[in-house]
Chain A
Amino acid sequence: MTPRQRRWIFLIAGAGLVAFYLWGLSGLPGFGNYPGPYGFAILRVAVAQTNATGVVSAINFDYRGFDTVGEEFILFVAAAGVATVLRRLRGERERPAVDEAAGRDVPATSSAVRMVALLFTGPVVLAGWWLASHAQTTPSGGFQGGILLATAFILIYLSGEFLVFKRLSPADLTDVVEAVGAGGFVVIGLSAVAMGLAYLKNFLPLGQVPGAVSSSGTIALISFFVGIEVAAAFILIVAELLDQTLLIRQGG
């Protein structure tokens, strides 16, 4: 089948699919007229029940915590998949990780990039930590804080210090941190079961004031564990891809 034929068949079939999709979407109650009872019911009771002013994080880690465990394990398996698929196969050599910049004709990283990247690493780590620990108050949470923490490590690589990046995030340490994050979430749920409640029920003291950092029971704790798990997963993914690009060579 030639590419032209493929394109024409797709245009006809795709037009049919989009028309059907639009007909289905026109059955929705219009943009802005959300009728559903579930959202309004949660908004009515969330702050009073969990003492968390961030309703979205309360949903993610308390009301629908079971779904979040599943999503986090998708992340875990994807990181493991990247590490497995990119392992060093038979017939490939790994170059020793020494700095070969002097012998190559690659332009060195400009000083402006290095300075800006190094300057921003500290504030990015601080911002990521703040986001991961304030899930229950403001628009933040474990997922956002985790990827921001991974971005700090990418900044270290961008500032030209690949060897520092490798030394700061050895594969064993990252694996352990990721496992601690994923396992911590499950353990918190199981300790609710150990106390005779349902799995992942919010059993820690809820705190006095709604919206304080120490309130809302297990939500803050779960958000912290999710944050370190997401950060470790993305650092692992970027480190694997960097190894492939810079270190592994064919032959040998």
Chain B
Amino acid sequence: MNTLAVQTPYTVPTAMMEALQITLLVLVAAGATAVVLIRAGVRQVLMLSIYGVLLAVLFLAFQAPDVTLSELVVGAVVLPVILLLTLAKVRKREQ
């Protein structure tokens, strides 16, 4: 018996979980479409950041908390930072 465990019953009705997952899937599809349709620049990077957070919440609804942690940090911090640095480098050369 796991002596460190605390007994916490998780009882979420399946229908509620399904409704949450369907909503998040629709939001993710809309987010992906928005990321592709926005032109390159700071706005697209911001939309990518929002898309990363939406994906992270979707992974949480799929019962995968560690993929959520990875996707949250990568999609909302690391990818926008390196994209913005590249855009700054390209724009500086245009001056």
Contacts and interface: CB of A to CB of B under 8 A. Distances in A.
Contacts of B69: 131, 139-140, 144
A33 interface: no
A131 B89 CA distance: 33
Contact of A143 (B4, B70, B82): B70
Nearest to B90: A245
Nearest to A154: B81
Interface string B1-31: 0111100000000000000000000000000
A185 interface: no
8 contacts: A57-B66, A139-B65, A139-B68, A151-B73, A209-B3, A212-B4, A238-B82, A245-B89
Contacts, number: 58
A144 B70 contact: yes
Interface of B: 2-5, 65-66, 68-70, 73-74, 77-78, 81-82, 85-86, 88-89, 92-93
Interface of A: 47, 53, 56-57, 131, 139-141, 143-144, 147-148, 150-151, 154, 209-212, 234, 237-238, 241-242, 244-245, 250
A250 B93 contact: yes
A237 B81 CA distance: 11
B82 to A, nearest CB: 6
SS class of chain B's interface: helix, strand, loop or mixed? helix
B78 A151 contact: yes
B24 to A, nearest CB: 13
Contacts of B66: 56-57, 139-141, 144
Contacts of A241: 82, 85-86, 89
Contacts of B82: 237-238, 241
Given A147-B70, A234-B78, A210 B4 contact: yes
Nearest to B2: A210
Contacts of A245: 85, 88-89, 92
Given A210-B4, A241-B82, A144 B73 contact: yes
A244 B2 contact: no
Nearest to B4: A211
B77 A154 contact: yes
